Chains A and B, each alone.
Chain A
Amino acid sequence: MTTTPTLELRNLEVAYTVRGIDRQVLRGVSFSIAPGEAYGLVGESGCGKSTAAFAAMRYLPRNGKITSGSILFEGKDIVDINDDEVAKLRRSAISMVYQNPATALNPTIRIGKQIAEVFELNGVSSADAMMMAEQALTKVQIADPARVMRRYAHQLSGGMAQRVVIAMALASNPRLLVMDEPTTGLDATVEAEVLDLVRELRRDTGTAVLFISHNLGVIRNMCDRVGVLYAGALVEQGATSELFSNPSHPYTVGLLRCIPRGGLHKNTDRLDTIPGTPPALGTNFDGCVFAARCSLADDKCRTQLPEMVTINGSHVARCFHSDKAGSMPRSIEQIEYAPQTTSHKTQVGDTLLNISHLSKVFNQDGHKVRVINDVSLTLGVGETLGLVGESGSGKTTIAKLVLGLTPPEEGGVVTLDGKGLAKTLNRRDVADVGAMQIVFQNPDQALNRRHSVTRIVSRAVERLRKFSLAAALERAHELLSGMRVDASLHSVRPVQLSGGLKQRVAIARAFAGAPQIVVCDEPTSALDVSVQAAILNLLVDLQKKDQTSFIFISHDLGVVRYISDKIAVLYLGRVVEFGTSQRVFTGPFHPYTEALLSSVPNIDGSTRKRIPLTGVVPSPSNPPSGCVLNPRCPRKAGSGYETLCETEEPNLTEVEPGHFMRCHVPMAKLKQLQS
């Protein structure tokens, strides 16, 4: 092995200057990427993944600087080269793909010109550059490249925008491609397509890839080797399959255990968490960076910096106790609650919420767009109803209709405990409002920044429970403590809290009115996996204790499967499948569900055939005739029902007790096709 690595980091140290003090963000990071190799960097937010990626591009924020170590590109140190040489490298040898493709494109310049710019930089005439730009778009398998050339960024979907960014990155024929969370924020099906594309392009071009992601499943499926970062230090590194099957650093083990996967369910399994919180930016360590949160840590770990030890071949871990990491005790937190002062009289499993024939039509530029089409669902006491589907499928709109934030069309009825609810929130009485609350994806925007945490919760208690101020404050403290928000934090403002703590406050607020139903709209999507596990545990505990029901919206199918009792799969505003979590996830599947499930990158490394959905999600303003899925359906062709699928919309029918599907193909046939 004497080939020069494409990229090599040697003891790289990077610091950010914050308020005049240098705070270290990368601590002696070393790794190398061979030509044609894909190297993944994983870790939670703030661990330095993106800093490493941008350092490789020689693009650090204004307050960031490389304090020591070297970055070698094809053997040449690029830490000290001047701006012209850096620009030349970026023009011709290193490219980058970003997390938010939509904002990475210039909003006022046509796509074609933006791609052509890269060719022009390399000396191609502008006419030729435009031609080559179109070829570049063809290469990333975008539909109708000629038309995309003339478009602006805002006219593209997320998946298309990412293809454009990839086309732009590959335009310079780079020897190294840095991908920073390239599929985060994309739908599962789109993510799968983009990842397929990247895999194909890698096979064709042999470009080395530095792949940054917080998603272990994506890394596992995309990379040859993996490095795990924690607090700016590389704690473990090895070949992907070896590292995932034999994780040897307690942090890696903890990360893998946090993830709801492989059919885990709240009724039988509790999720592990990683106790404590990640260290603040620039913390100084005497010993191991992870010691404060590690259940194996002893005095040696706290005082001495461990060296990388070899586990197996190239698999190394920076831990004194790597032999014990794989079998370290599970970390399961138990929660004590503040008891709710009211109890609902119904029994677990009784129908609590009944949604029937809900439709919603939006007016868009004078066109009527039916975003929700005749949705009927039920939710039992103490149960969780999971809503899944791609963006635009109507998940959030259904939640809004149920909550009364937007009124349904004529004929739609929502009943709670047998009592019909008014269509809009302002016509519902306080008890009905308190009975249904919501937890949003982004607690930053959901919590009033100017109020203290206690006030946020106590105001809700005052309003929804008609408590006196003193009683409301007392209840607020009880609720917050029940959500494991430490008493010392009750008087602070949300801005001083971490993302996980903010979400706990948001949950406390939702529980202020002693709700019967809490709508959770992507409550953990903005959180790290270890925090996500703690929040999911909390929700499950709250549910078990108070028989609270949840409507749970998430694009993460592992999370939905873990927490839901029943699942409704939505496509274009219609329920295409409805049944128990177990049934929906084990099949036989509705063809759409099948495609959706097969697109999730599998963290267990088992290879599974992906069932692709062809084409794009049709616009709800102009839905296809017949079954709305038929132009993209993976099971239509050869099913013998093609004509029916194309002409008649199927009804939601009970294919077996408690399992509903909207499909012309009989279940027996589906079962046969899917086996």
Chain B
Amino acid sequence: MLRFIVKRIGLSILTLVIVSLIVFLMTSIMPGDIAKQILGRDATPEAFEIWNKEKGFDKPLVVQYSRWMGGVLTGDLGTSLQYEMPVAEILAPAASKSAQLAIVALLLIAPISILGGIAAAMNRGKKVDRALTVGGLSAAVIPEFVWAVVLILVFGVAIQVFPVSAFPDEENPNLISSIYHLILPSIALLFVLFGYISRITRAGVIEALDSDYMRTAVLKGLSRKTAVFKHVLRNALLPTIAVIATQVPYLAGGLIAIERVFNYPGFGNILLDAVIARDFPLLQSAVFLTGVVIIVFQLIADILFAVLNPRIRQKVTE
């Protein structure tokens, strides 16, 4: 098992290196002269040269890349061109905000979607199943920001039960208030992900319900409910857990539209600003961080899958 984990981590690091290269090259060849934008059109050619030299943009790409990577490893992400302050200081609070949103959303989405999937599977072919499947799919077709607007209009404006902003106005909001503000955006995300996750759950539960071991359980004399609880869920939820873990980066990696609509200072807003301002020290690190989140959660999904499934666990132990 340990060997498997070490191997997976090794592979993840390799992937990260490749990601960092791609990110670096992409931001380096971004169109538009940054110096011109920062210094203004009227600056002299000498001024541009000095600025480029000062920022190190005159060096070969290899040197620039190794300087950036060296910084990343030591926690120095460089200086934002746009804000003239350390990238880390800009990214850290935004990442924390995005993580808060992701956690609240996940705590809402995972149980509801799983329960929905189980309910659909247990009532296969009946009205409940059809309603959940069709409803889930229809909801997923509509983008999250449209849901966001609809939700704001209904629950924020018409019947004012939730705040229209996802960010408390108070200076030091307490936990409850923070969560309360995040519920509406989470519901918007629930609508988008419910169809997907509940369908995966439904498929897993149906497969397990039709399995020979479920038949054994029932013929042992277990009631259907107990048999489902003890024998079906553990097997059925395996793929679901992996799927949910792969959705975490989507939630945590910057939901630009949701953040805009709910006026939330998360990761997505920073990303968008960085692109528009061609602030590529900031952009590089922000995109790279998104990559890290995706890869880390993929790793977590794989390890979880292995831990929960004795067949894989044994294979990786050998």
A residues at B contact (CB < 8 Å): 57, 59, 83-84, 87-92, 95-96, 98, 100, 103-109, 117-118, 121, 152, 154-155, 165, 168, 172, 365
Contacts and interface: CB of A to CB of B under 8 A. Distances in A.
A103 B234 contact: no
B221 A121 contact: yes
Given A106-B235, A109-B231, A109-B234, A121 B314 contact: no
Contact of B314 (A83, A95, A104, A154): A154
Nearest to B315: A365
A90 B217 CA distance: 10
A107 B213 contact: yes
A59 B215 contact: yes
With most chain B CB atoms within 10 A of its CB, the pick from A90, A106, A154 is A106
A249 to B, nearest CB: 32
Given A107-B311, A109-B231, A90 B220 contact: yes
Nearest to B235: A108
Nearest to A57: B219
Contact of A87 (B211, B212, B215, B222): B222
Interface string B202-230: 00000000011101111111111000001
B220 A117 contact: yes
B219 A103 contact: no
Interface in B285-309: 308-309
Nearest to A105: B213
B60 interface: no
Given A107-B235, A152-B314, A172 B215 contact: no
Nearest to A88: B221
20 contacts: A57-B219, A59-B218, A90-B218, A96-B219, A104-B216, A105-B213, A106-B213, A106-B216, A106-B217, A106-B235, A108-B235, A108-B308, A108-B309, A109-B234, A117-B220, A117-B222, A117-B230, A154-B314, A165-B216, A168-B216
B215 A104 contact: yes
B318 interface: yes
B213 A118 contact: no
A87 B219 CA distance: 8
B32 interface: no
A172 B235 contact: no
Contact of B221 (A87, A106, A108, A152): A87
A121 B220 contact: yes
With most chain A CB atoms within 10 A of its CB, the pick from B216, B219, B231, B311 is B219
Contacts of B234: 108-109
A278 B300 CA distance: 54
Contacts of B219: 57, 59, 90, 95-96
Given A88-B221, A91-B221, A106-B213, 4 more contacts: A103-B212, A108-B234, A108-B308, A152-B310
A120 B37 CA distance: 75
B211 A103 contact: yes
Nearest to B214: A106
Nearest to B219: A96
Given A90-B219, A98-B212, A107-B213, A152 B311 contact: yes
A100 B318 contact: no
B1 to A, nearest CB: 14
B15 to A, nearest CB: 25
A88 B211 CA distance: 22
A443 to B, nearest CB: 24
Contact of A98 (B216, B235, B308): B216
Nearest to B318: A365
A430 to B, nearest CB: 40
B311 A106 contact: no
Given A107-B235, A365-B318, A91 B213 contact: no
A369 to B, nearest CB: 13
A92 B221 contact: yes
A103 B213 contact: yes
Contact of A105 (B216, B230, B311, B314): B216
Nearest to B311: A154
B71 to A, nearest CB: 40
Contact of B223 (A83, A105, A152): A83
Contacts of A117: 220, 222, 230
A87 B318 CA distance: 40
A365 B317 CA distance: 10
A95 to B, nearest CB: 8
A394 to B, nearest CB: 22
B231 to A, nearest CB: 5
A571 B234 CA distance: 40
A24 B318 CA distance: 51
B236 to A, nearest CB: 10
Nearest to A113: B230
B124 to A, nearest CB: 9
Contact of A100 (B212, B220, B311): B212
With most chain B CB atoms within 10 A of its CB, the pick from A84, A100, A107 is A107
A162 to B, nearest CB: 13
Contacts of A92: 221
A108 B310 CA distance: 6
Contact of B220 (A83, A103, A168): A168
With most chain A CB atoms within 10 A of its CB, the pick from B216, B234, B310 is B216
Contacts of B310: 107-108, 152, 154
A91 B220 contact: yes
B221 A104 contact: no
A121 B231 contact: no
A84 B314 CA distance: 38
B44 to A, nearest CB: 67
Contacts of B224: 83
Nearest to B313: A152
A121 B230 CA distance: 13
A100 B218 CA distance: 16
A118 B223 CA distance: 12
With most chain A CB atoms within 10 A of its CB, the pick from B211, B212, B224, B230 is B212
With most chain B CB atoms within 10 A of its CB, the pick from A88, A96, A108, A172 is A108
A105 B231 CA distance: 10
Contacts of B314: 152, 154-155
Interface in B153-202: none
B32 to A, nearest CB: 52
B223 A106 contact: no
Contacts of A106: 213, 216-217, 231, 235
Contacts of B221: 87-92, 118, 121, 172
With most chain A CB atoms within 10 A of its CB, the pick from B224, B234, B309, B310 is B310
A104 B212 contact: yes
Give the 7 A-B CB pairs with smallest separation, nearest first.
A91-B221, A90-B221, A103-B212, A106-B213, A152-B310, A104-B212, A104-B216
A87 B223 contact: yes
B160 to A, nearest CB: 48
B2 to A, nearest CB: 16
A83 B218 CA distance: 11
Nearest to B125: A62
A233 to B, nearest CB: 26
A121 B222 contact: yes
A165 to B, nearest CB: 8
